[in-house]
Amino acid sequence: MGQLYRYARPASPGLPDIDGIPNFHYIVASDGSPTLQLERGINAPSATRAVDGERLAVVLLSSNENKLGSAENPWHDTLAPDEGLARYFGDNKTPDVDPGTVSGNRTLLRQFELHTSPEKTKRELAAPILFFRSTRKGFKEFAGLGLITGAKRVTQFSDKNGGFFTNYLFDLAIISLTEEDESLAMLWIQDRRDPGREARVANAMAPKARRQWIKYGSPEIERIRRRVSRRHILPKREQVSSATSENGKTLEAVYRFYEPRRHRFEALASLACESMVRGTGAAYRRGWLTRGTGDGGLDFVGRLDIGEGLAGTKLVVLGQAKCERIDTATGGVHIARTVARLRRGWVGAYVTTSFFSEAVQREVYEDQYPVLLLNGTALANEVVKLKLAGGFANVEKFLEHVDADYEAQVSNRRPEEVLWD
């Protein structure tokens, strides 16, 4: 986990290292079989015609974080191995095309059937999903072993490909490799590519968590999901994007737009909070914005819905929005004001164009404040997604659209009234 590999072109599977870094094609090489590739987002070798039937040995998913927000990769995959989850967009980018007929989507949909099957024999056939991510050309980082848990159709937009199109969004669980010391044995994948081995035998080298899932199925996933025990405290360098990056340019445009009228930033903050929470799969509903003065640490109201019917509940979300200098840490006093307004069972949200100091994060963590923190880079991520989803030509046009609805969202209602909507 986390190992960086050199991914050179043309492939040289005979070299253990390239430029002093382990060679991807050497690591995945299998005698008598074509080398595995990461040329596309969704990659798979030809099916193995084994003695007990046909199976796909492995699927490799590649996410290029260097191109997030670009025309080539306008929709952001979510890859969070330390939290044990991933959300991956399929490979259809063409309007008026059934997304299920596109090669990569077709592969993952077939695997989705096997990964969610109640039959052990089908789970034995299911292909391992290996995640790789890249932050620069020619390098790939191994980011986990996954199981597909969900698949749904979504509508996307791309200037490059002529407007709106339908695609698939896949939810995946990244499972634990603790028993294997955070490593995955490529011998397992080689065995799955061996036509002389039955699926049951070919999975003998699988990680323990994967073998538990084969035995018990989907109810076992939460027990084997990867979870890293650590404080989630991010240094400044992980919260601030380069000024020349897509996120950096987007955030600068947001700050310039709202700096003369900072109280109107609340509308964007409320929308970004909704987008961020919904992106995790949770149900969130926007409420309203408060008046620009005298709000006592309260700028917007929302609602988090958990469960359904008698097995459900609703939580008030109190939001604070701060359009602050991008290179200056947000003040802890503002977060304290938000926390002070929370009642039992309520949740806070703090959205800023800046970043959170380690001291502020540590206070929130150690005191277990129920507050969602959305820093400038995360805000820029949501703005890029929302801009593309709406088909806006640029960030400024999108912000003008959000700002035009500001007055209509302002209300004097009490926060708890959001529970009644």
Q: Are residues 241 and 385 in the same domain?
A: yes
Q: Give me the pLDDT at residue 72, please.
A: 46
In this structure, is residue 231 part of a structural domain? no
Which DSSP category does 157 fall into? E
What residues in the chain have per-residue pLDDT under 70? 65-75, 158-162, 229-231, 292-297
* pLDDT given for residue 71 in this prediction: 46
Note whether 76 and 164 are same-domain residues: yes
Q: What is the model's pLDDT at position 161? A: 62
Looking at the structure, do residues 88 and 217 belong to the same domain, yes or no?
yes
If one counts every other C-beta atom within 10 angstroms of the C-beta of residue 276, the result is 20
pLDDT tens-digit readout, 334-361: 888 889 989 988 999 999 999 999 888 8
pLDDT at 70: 47
Same domain, 328 and 369: yes
DSSP line for 316-327: EEEEEEE---TT
- State whether 216 and 349 are in the same domain: no
What residues make up the domain containing 413?
236-420
Q: How far is CA 41 from the centre of its chain?
A: 15
Residue 168, beta-bridge partner list: 153
**Boundary residue ending a domain (201, 224, 247):** 224
Cα 82 to chain centroid distance, Å, stands at 12
Dihedral angle, C-alpha 410, 415, 419, 421, nearest 10 °: -20
* In a shared domain, residues 117 and 161: yes
* Segment 33-88, tens digit of pLDDT: 888 999 889 999 999 999 999 999 999 999 886 555 444 444 678 888 988 989 99
Do residues 171 and 205 both lie within one domain?
Answer: yes
Separation of alpha carbons 228 and 81, rounded Å: 9
List pLDDT tens digits, range 277-310: 998 888 999 999 997 655 556 899 999 999 888 8
Report pLDDT for 294: 52
Give the domain CATH number at 29. Answer: 2.30.280.20
Q: Are residues 8 and 76 in the same domain?
A: yes
| Sign, CA torsion 388/394/395/398 | negative
Q: Which residue has the tokens 């609602």?
A: 303
Give the total number of structural domains in the chain: 2
* CATH at residue 390: 3.40.1350.10
Per-residue confidence (pLDDT) for residue 231, from 0 to 100: 57
- Candidates 338, 357, 354; CA nearest to 346 is 338
DSSP conformation class of 23: B
Average per-residue pLDDT for the chain: 89
pLDDT of residue 308: 86
The pLDDT value recorded for residue 160 is 66
